[in-house]
Amino acid sequence: QKEVEQNSGPLSVPEGAIASLNCTYSDRVSQSFFWYRQYSGKSPELIMSIYSNGDKEDGRFTAQLNKASQYVSLLIRDSQPSDSATYLCAVRNYGQNFVFGPGTRLSVLP
Amino acid sequence: DVKVTQSSRYLVKRTGEKVFLECVQDMDHENMFWYRQDPGLGLRLIYFSYDVKMKEKGDIPEGYSVSREKKERFSLILESASTNQTSMYLCASSTNTDTQYFGPGTRLTVL
């Protein structure tokens, strides 16, 4: 059973701080990794995708991938109350399917 | 921009009714997916399709069927709706190499 694990949270950070979200996966052949943000009652929206080891930055967001440790993370710098949401980690291997983690609920406190 | 649309945002049906949920994508994506999402259970894959007229069971296909007659359209069918099928239903599409893009979701209530 291919699994993606995340800490369910809630993770609370003060406004302006760095929020660090973590994800581990079990399938070593996983090739593609994605972070989605989901607001309550809404559908998931893509924030970042990452395919190779290292860091990938996009604005306030940085995705980090370590395939040897089977670990992917998302850093949110200068966190804003509008970042409060559930963050889903997703993993894709050579097949067509995506495996989603249960999500981490982030709360940014003003 | 990728656009995935779903036929209804909110739907209320009665037990035993046949329910159709429609999903359309405008990006010529090969793959389309149906998920349901329930509190504490995360996203669960019901069915997916990697080509027209092709379908594969996901993790929870029981009580559901699907149809993909055209590349852009993927339908989810509840043959006889039951109260335990009350949920948020999410459609998504993707190419063979890229990420999934989700529709806005349909919140289905079965009374």
Q: Which of A45, A88, A89, A97 is the best residue to mutate to test the B interface, defined by the most B CB atoms within 10 Å of its own CB?
A: A97
Q: So what's the pLDDT on residue A1? A: 62
Rounded Cα–Cα distance for residues B86 and B76 (Å): 14
> Residue length, chain B?
111
DSSP state of A18: P
B87 touches A: beta carbon within 8 Å? no
Say whether pLDDT at A87 is over 80. yes
Three-state DSSP class for A81?
helix
Residues on chain A touching B21 (C-beta within 8 angstroms): none
What end-to-end distance do the CA atoms of chain A give, in Å? Answer: 40
| % of chain A exceeding 70 in pLDDT | 95
Between chains, do B96 and A96 touch, taking CB under 8 Å as contact? yes
Q: Is residue A95 pLDDT above 80, yes or no?
A: no
pLDDT in tens, B27-39: 999 999 999 999 8
Mean pLDDT, residues A49-53: 93
pLDDT tens readout for residues B9-32: 999 999 999 999 999 999 999 999
Residue B96: pLDDT band (50, 70, 90) is confident
Contact A89, A72 (CB under 8 A): yes
Are the beta carbons of A44 and B50 separated by less than 8 Å?
Answer: no
pLDDT of residue A30: 83
Q: Is the pLDDT of residue A90 over 90?
A: yes
The arithmetic mean of pLDDT across residues A33-49, rounded, is: 95
DSSP B9: S
Residues of chain B contacting residue A92, judged by C-beta atoms under 8 Å apart: 99
Inform me whether the C-beta atom of residue A9 falls under 8 Å from chain B C-beta atoms: no
A3/B contact by beta carbon, under 8 A: no
What is the rounded average pLDDT of the residues A62-75?
96
Distance CA B84, CA B44 (A): 14
